[in-house]
Amino acid sequence: MNLNILGWKCEGLRCPDFNVEINERGNNSSTFFQMPNGTGKTTTLRLLKRSLYNHEFKSSEIEEFKAKKKEEYKKEGFFEAKFAVDGKIFYIRINFDFEKKIASYSSSLSDEGGYVLGFKLPKEIENIIDKELVDLLLVDLEIDVKPMFRDSQTKAQEAIRKFCKINLLESLINDFKNFKDKKRKESSQSGNVQNQINTEETRLNKIDIRIKEVEKKKDQYKKYLNDTEEEYLSGKKQLDDALQRDSQLNRRRQELEKKRDEVKSKYDEILTKNLNDIKNIGTYENNLKIEVKEFVNNLDEMGLPEEEVRIFFDKILKKTDCICGEKLTDDKKEVIKKAMDSFISQEEAGIIGKIKDAVRKNTQEHDKVDLLANSSLIQQLKQELDATNENINILNNKALKDDRNLSDKIKKLEKEREFKKEFLDNIINQEWKARDGEDTESLLSLGEQKKIVEKKLAELSGTKEIEEKVIFLSEIIEEAIVASENEISKEITSECNKKIQEMFINNPIYINSIDKHIVLEGQAEGSTGQEARIGIIFLLTILERSSIHFPLIVDTPVKGMDNAAKRRTAGFISDLKSQFICFVIDADKPNFTVEYIKLDKKNSNFITAFRRSKEFDKLTDSIETKKISNNGQVVYGYPFFEKFTEEEDSI
């Protein structure tokens, strides 16, 4: 099955009124769409995304789509996207009412028009397309690729689940669970049992609500980390640069940092030594040393342990004759056994022996320890460490005096990011504990609590057999999910690495593994350009595996790349089989589209869209393949695409 984007039309929005026909020349395989900065690339991408799933527009969001220029403001506007599923055309239209601040969908499932109110996709794709999938298909490489590489995020895993249809197995588990819930609710019990069922149902409901809340928070935190990463890293770099600027201050700071590291190392050492010294009871003077010594002395005085005596009796018991020469009858053996039991066993003697050894070593052999001397050294080093840190802070404050606001902002951001990472990495993954309530934020615990309540409900409602069968089947499917995810991840890693080898001729960065996120070989993170390239390789690799051919729409495909990488990306795109649309600005063209046109075997589309101005209108005077509105123009063909270099001011 093939899903293609054929074009879009917009009026009365923040971007100029455009009417874009991707397959204007009967070919929609690869399209390069040039829009100057500020012409509405992001707006177009966002609305294209929202044309593929039913989005609830908030009034503040609607405001963002409104035309900003006074003379262009209209009370109403729309964005209409044209798609084809296996050649069958359909339209989705988003209607904006800027006065009432509302947005609504209308859909047409044929080429003859006839819109109906509401969001409706053709049957072939209505159960396949959702927001998560769309977010993977329409990507801003600067923003959307990062979560695939960060350890607190799970976007790579989500992509594999989605495209390799692993989520269908999850929906199967859900179907089983729904069936089980239905059966449970159908069985009504009497009196007290029904009251208990109601109580447990209420608890189950609370757990479900809590899971949803935590999942929502998880998504929000992931988004926050992703959204603030650029700001945080660039802010940190700016502050580092500021610290390096004054060479005298910098030298002094380096000296202090060296001193701090030395003091810190000694401080860590004495703290560790102190804890180990405390553990060595008997090496320092106190009443415990006296007590434990006395205990061992008493044992010595009593001749304990006396294992040899017990062993002696034990050996006699195994003989037929006693050492005195008489026969050992059962009665006599019983007497010996009683006598033997008054002696401690070999194992007990072993424990006593170890106590004596440990006490002897600590009180006689080991060096004596002075815990008070430890304390003095700890205090002295702590004071030194604090003073050095304080001096470094003073120097930093001096160096950052012009960047005070930025410094405060980055500190705040750092704290907030750490807090959210802690939530994503630890809090939601904490093991279940018996005392956990429904208010916990651990998804593992909530899952476990849910299982317990469901089990109880099954017992109360007499549906235990169904419950057990569903658990049995679900566990098999869950195991299959894990196993298939591992296998597919390995295959995708290998396929991606083959492509990486072709694309990164110099210094290739390979993928080590794909678990929840993409782990790079030998480095924690890649540069923006490296991650963008690997991200696009990853997406294309999983797209190729899918039996459904989706379009891939990429904003800023070569941003952050050097010239060689741009050329290799061009080569890579020319080999793609599924529909590919990318948004570029004129600065992206050298080494990218210029290179691509030489390799183009597909007669690709080159489209330029811009806000009208006298200057730009003159440029297109002699061109026929264009569509003009009152404030925008869409021009088709490579010659104009190549020629177009000027950018208008931001809207």
Partner 1 sequence: MSFKLVEKKNKDEEQNFIDSKDFFKKIRSGSDVDNSSPIKFDMDIFFLCLLVGLKENKKEDINLYKFHGSFSSKYIDSYLNVKPLITGLLLSKIMREEKIDKNEKDKIKKSLKIYLDTNDPSNLTIKCFDIMHEYFLGGYNILLKKFNFKAPDEISVFFDKYNKIIVN
- What secondary structure, in 3-state letters, does 137-179 show? HEEECCCCCHHHCCCCCCHHHHHHHHHCCHHHHHHHHHHHHHH
List the beta strands (DSSP E) in 515-630: 518-520, 552-555, 580-584, 605-611, 626-628
The residue among 358 and 623 lying less far from partner 1, judged by its C-beta, is 358
The residue among 156 and 369 lying less far from partner 1, judged by its C-beta, is 369
3-state SS of the chain: helix, strand, coil percent to 5?
Answer: 60, 15, 30
Q: Please check whether residue 501 is in contact with residue 508, taking contact to mean a CB–CB distance below 8 angstroms.
A: yes
CB atoms inside a 10 Å sphere around CB 438: 18
Closest CA to 211 of 553, 507, 446: 446
Among 171, 202, 244, 379, binds partner 1 (CB under 8 A): 379
CA distance 51 to 53: 6
CB of 222 vs partner 1, minimal distance in Å: 23
Binders of partner 1 among residues 50 to 79 (CB under 8 A) are: none
Among 59, 375, 426, 527, binds partner 1 (CB under 8 A): 375
Among 71, 99, 112, 301, binds partner 1 (CB under 8 A): 301
Handedness of CA 484, 486, 487, 490 (dihedral sign): positive
Among 110, 286, 486, 603, binds partner 1 (CB under 8 A): 286
Regarding 104 and contact with partner 1 (CB under 8 A), the answer is no
**Which single residue is written with the structure tokens 């782990």?**
519
The residue among 288 and 476 lying less far from partner 1, judged by its C-beta, is 288
The residue among 286 and 494 lying less far from partner 1, judged by its C-beta, is 286
Q: Determine the interface stretch with partner 1 among 73-81, 141-149, 427-435, 590-598 (rule: CB under 8 A).
A: 427-435
CB of 429 vs partner 1, minimal distance in Å: 17
Opening angle at CA 284, ends 281 and 288, nearest 5: 50
Regarding 287 and contact with partner 1 (CB under 8 A), the answer is yes
The residue among 304 and 597 lying less far from partner 1, judged by its C-beta, is 304
Among 371, 394, 480, 587, binds partner 1 (CB under 8 A): 371
Regarding 429 and contact with partner 1 (CB under 8 A), the answer is no
Among 26, 56, 123, 302, binds partner 1 (CB under 8 A): 302
Closest CA to 197 of 186, 208, 213: 186
Q: Determine the interface stretch with partner 1 among 80-88, 101-109, 295-303, 585-593 (rule: CB under 8 A).
A: 295-303
Number of helical (H) and strand (E) elements in the chain, helices listed first: 21, 15
Kindly write out the interface string for residues 319-358 of this chain, putting x where it contacts partner 1 by CB under 8 A and - elsewhere: -----------------------xxxx-xx-xxx-xx-xx
**Which single residue is written with the structure tokens 């202090």?**
256
CB of 384 vs partner 1, minimal distance in Å: 11
CA distance 550 to 1: 9
Binders of partner 1 among residues 211 to 270 (CB under 8 A) are: 264, 267-268
**How many residues belong to the chain?**
651
Among 70, 319, 327, 435, binds partner 1 (CB under 8 A): 435
Among 240, 294, 418, 468, binds partner 1 (CB under 8 A): 294
CB of 353 vs partner 1, minimal distance in Å: 9
Regarding 271 and contact with partner 1 (CB under 8 A), the answer is yes
Closest CA to 150 of 199, 247, 221: 221
Number of residues interacting with partner 1: please give it, by CB under 8 A: 52
Q: Please check whether residue 430 is in contact with residue 443, taking contact to mean a CB–CB distance below 8 angstroms.
A: no
Q: Is 445 helix (H, G, I), strand (E, B) or coil?
A: helix
Tokens standing for residue 72:
């262009």
Tokens standing for residue 238:
């700016």
Q: Determine the interface stretch with partner 1 among 21-29, 83-91, 292-300, 459-467 (rule: CB under 8 A).
A: 292-300
Regarding 288 and contact with partner 1 (CB under 8 A), the answer is yes
HSE-up of residue 132 (Cα within 13 Å, Cβ side): 15
CB of 276 vs partner 1, minimal distance in Å: 8
Q: How would you label 598-611 residue by residue, b for 16+ Cβ within 10 Å and e otherwise?
A: eebebebbbbbbbb
The residue among 175 and 418 lying less far from partner 1, judged by its C-beta, is 418
Q: Backbone dihedral region of 63: left (phi > 0), alpha (psi from -120 to 50 degrees) or beta? A: alpha
CB of 356 vs partner 1, minimal distance in Å: 8
Regarding 174 and contact with partner 1 (CB under 8 A), the answer is no
Binders of partner 1 among residues 142 to 171 (CB under 8 A) are: none
CB of 396 vs partner 1, minimal distance in Å: 17
CB of 257 vs partner 1, minimal distance in Å: 15
Residue 462 Cα distances to 189, 193, 202, 222, angstroms = 9, 11, 18, 42
Closest CA to 477 of 161, 168, 154: 168
Residue 455 Cα distances to 1, 177, 203, 338, angstroms = 42, 12, 13, 52
Q: What value does the CA radius of gyration of the chain take, rounded to a whole number of Å?
A: 36
CB of 347 vs partner 1, minimal distance in Å: 4
Residue 623 Cα distances to 11, 264, 630, 641, angstroms = 23, 72, 17, 12
Regarding 387 and contact with partner 1 (CB under 8 A), the answer is no
The residue among 73 and 419 lying less far from partner 1, judged by its C-beta, is 419
The residue among 261 and 321 lying less far from partner 1, judged by its C-beta, is 261
Binders of partner 1 among residues 531 to 590 (CB under 8 A) are: none
The residue among 52 and 385 lying less far from partner 1, judged by its C-beta, is 385
Q: Annotate 274-340 with DSSP letters as a single string.
A: HHHHHHSTTSS-SHHHHHHHHHHHHHHHHT---HHHHHHHHHHHHSSB-TTS-B--HHHHHHHHHHH
Tokens standing for residue 337:
């056994």
The residue among 278 and 587 lying less far from partner 1, judged by its C-beta, is 278
Regarding 433 and contact with partner 1 (CB under 8 A), the answer is yes
Regarding 279 and contact with partner 1 (CB under 8 A), the answer is yes
Among 34, 362, 445, 569, binds partner 1 (CB under 8 A): 362
CB of 418 vs partner 1, minimal distance in Å: 12
CB of 251 vs partner 1, minimal distance in Å: 25
Among 19, 23, 238, 274, binds partner 1 (CB under 8 A): 274
CB of 363 vs partner 1, minimal distance in Å: 10
Binding site for partner 1 (CB under 8 A): 264, 267-268, 271-272, 274-275, 278-282, 284-288, 291-292, 294-296, 298, 301-302, 304, 342-345, 347-348, 350-352, 354-355, 357-359, 362, 371-372, 374-375, 378-379, 382, 385, 433-435
